[in-house]
Amino acid sequence: MTERKPQGMSFPSWIDQQILDAQRRGVFDDLPGAGKPLDLKPETGGDYGEKWVRDYARREGVRPEEFLPTPLRLRRETEKLAEAVADMRTEDEVREAVGELNRRIVEWRKFPDGPPVFVRLVRKDEMVARWREAQAARAARLASAPPPLAVPAESAGTVRNKRSGWRGLLWRPRRAR
């Protein structure tokens, strides 16, 4: 396809000529899905282009959130951050994540695009308080958990069999009679 269009030929006829040449060479033979109908019908109304874009995005692994307008995506990130705060390790990590999200919200507010949706800044103190509550609940759970099982004194002297697994742990040498 590196050859240039001849001067006296129109683009549609030149493109048709290229396609015919490719068909003669067999470029389109044995393509995946050959002889099968295209599944382009949308499930519920809508148009065919939207279905194709959705299917293409699904095949390529694009997450649905990436199709959202910026303010709605920022709101969703705010909700996810509120859920993820409990799993963060330090208070500084919480403050850093909130600061980064707030920076992007302020940046969007300066030059908004998409629908006029108000996006509220995330309060650092509120998120830190959530993190502290989650840490306190985790500490209480660990404190109320039963202690780890101790090895009984009588099984400490058992000889382990060559077998692996529970049988080897439960095997005890026979006592002499």
The rounded distance, in Å, linking the Cα atoms of 121 and 113 is 17
Q: Are 46 and 90 in contact (CB under 8 A)?
A: no
| Positions of E strands within the chain | none
If one counts every other C-beta atom within 10 angstroms of the C-beta of residue 63, the result is 9
Q: For the residues 32-48, what does the mean pLDDT come to?
A: 72
Average pLDDT over every residue of 3-30: 85
93 is a domain residue: yes
Q: What percent of the chain has pLDDT over 70?
A: 77
Task: Give me the number of domains the chain comprises.
Answer: 1
pLDDT of residue 168: 53
Handedness of CA 112, 114, 120, 122 (dihedral sign): negative
| Structural contact between residues 5 and 11, judged by C-beta atoms closer than 8 angstroms | yes
Higher pLDDT, 54 or 134: 134
Q: What is the pLDDT of residue 167?
A: 53
pLDDT in tens, 62-102: 887 888 888 999 999 999 999 999 999 999 999 999 999 99
Threshold 0.75, pTM exceeds: no
Torsion of CA 98, 63, 112, 128, to 10 degrees: -10
Q: Which residue has the tokens 């799993």?
A: 87
Range of the domain at 107: 68-144
Residue 175: the pLDDT is 63
Domain assignment present for residue 101? The answer is yes
Q: Which residues contact 103 (CB under 8 A, 6 or more apart)?
A: none
Q: Is residue 117 part of a domain?
A: yes
Nearest to 133 by CA among 96, 100, 165, 94: 94
pLDDT in the model for residue 55 = 82
163 confidence band (pLDDT: 50, 70, 90): low
Position 56 scores a pLDDT of: 85
Residue carrying structure tokens 């002499």: 176
- Asked whether residue 159 is assigned to any structural domain, the reply reads no
Residue 23 belongs to some domain of the structure? no
Q: Is residue 72 part of a domain?
A: yes
Give the CB-side neighbour count of residue 133, counting CA atoms within 13 A.
9
**Residue 94 included in any domain:** yes
In a domain, 78, yes or no: yes
- Note the pLDDT tens digit of each residue in 105-138: 999 999 888 778 889 999 999 999 999 999 999 8
